């Protein structure tokens, strides 16, 4: 979701910096980018080590509340994301939102979509292991009632892509705030603009044919 469907990373970076500063510390953009794609409880543990004297749950709630406030002002949709989702819905292809944000955050973002885009949501507070562990994508495929080898995952971070690849899905990396490297078991698309169901079908077919 964050970085793939919506470019909320600047919102998270601002929320982290504000929180650390409120406890007398300093948090840079570079610090925040090291956590892109990570689970929020991992982020909370890092912020505790940077002087934030709150429990992990309190940190997660504070960050989520602040990002949700910023989304209320502007939803920063990623180029091509809404168009691709709309085409998938029209083709009746089942979809799941797999994010390490907590569920209320995922539902908040989804509420701004002009149509019902997802059949299921897998959130950071609904799994035991966060990305890069395969559990989130395995859970998503389970909810959709399909094998992960028949799924395509679209991600913007190496952490998320590692989760998708480990789960056995065909993975597409659309880089944003973090560089992505070729040859890591996923395909890189510079943007989702102009991409549709045909592109996804061709990628799935060619990848599975090559694997066979």
Residue pLDDT, tens place only, 163-198: 999 999 999 999 998 889 988 899 999 999 999 999
Is residue 92, in this structure, part of any structural domain at all? yes
Q: 2-23, pLDDT tens digit by residue?
A: 999 999 989 999 999 999 999 9
Q: Does residue 1 belong to any structural domain of this protein?
A: no
Give the end of a domain, one of 23, 55, 73. 73
Task: Identify which of 196, 186, 30, 40 has the alpha carbon closest to the alpha carbon of residue 106.
Answer: 40
Q: What pLDDT is attached to residue 105?
A: 94
- Residue pair 153/162 in contact by the 8 Å Cβ criterion: no
- 140/196 same-domain check: yes
Q: Distance between CA atoms of 196 and 81, rounded to whole angstroms? A: 10
**Domain assignment present for 135:** yes
How many CB atoms lie under 10 A from the CB of residue 60? Answer: 22
170 shares its domain with 200: yes
d(CA 53, CA 204): 47
Owning domain of residue 108: 81-211
Q: Which residues are bridge partners to 173 per DSSP?
A: 155, 188
User: Would 4 be classed as within a structural domain?
Assistant: no
Low-confidence ranges of the chain (pLDDT < 50): none
Percentage of the chain with pLDDT > 90?
A: 89
What local confidence, expressed as pLDDT, does residue 211 receive? 61
- What pLDDT does residue 143 have? 98
Residue 47 lies in a domain: yes
Number of domains in the chain: 2
């Amino acid at each position: 979701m964050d970085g793939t469907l919506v470019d909320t990373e600047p919102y998270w970076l601002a929320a982290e910096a504000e929180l650390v500063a409120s406890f007398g510390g300093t948090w840079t953009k570079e610090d925040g980018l090291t956590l892109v794609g990570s689970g929020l409880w991992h982020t909370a543990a890092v912020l505790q080590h940077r002087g934030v004297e709150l429990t992990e749950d309190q940190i997660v709630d504070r960050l989520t509340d602040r990002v949700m406030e910023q989304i209320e002002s502007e939803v920063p949709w990623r180029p091509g994301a809404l168009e691709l989702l709309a085409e998938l819905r029209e083709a009746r292809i089942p979809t799941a939102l797999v994010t390490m944000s907590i569920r209320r955050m995922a539902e908040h973002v989804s509420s701004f979509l002009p149509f019902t885009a997802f059949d299921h949501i897998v959130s950071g507070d609904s799994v035991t292991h966060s990305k890069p562990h395969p559990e989130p994508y395995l859970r998503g495929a389970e909810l959709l009632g399909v094998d992960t080898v028949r799924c395509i995952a679209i991600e913007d971070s190496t952490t998320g892509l590692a989760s998708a690849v480990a789960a056995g899905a065909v993975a597409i990396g659309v880089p944003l705030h973090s560089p992505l490297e070729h040859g890591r078991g996923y395909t890189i698309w510079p943007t989702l603009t102009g991409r549709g169901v045909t592109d996804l079908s061709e990628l799935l077919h060619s990848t599975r044919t090559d694997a066979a």
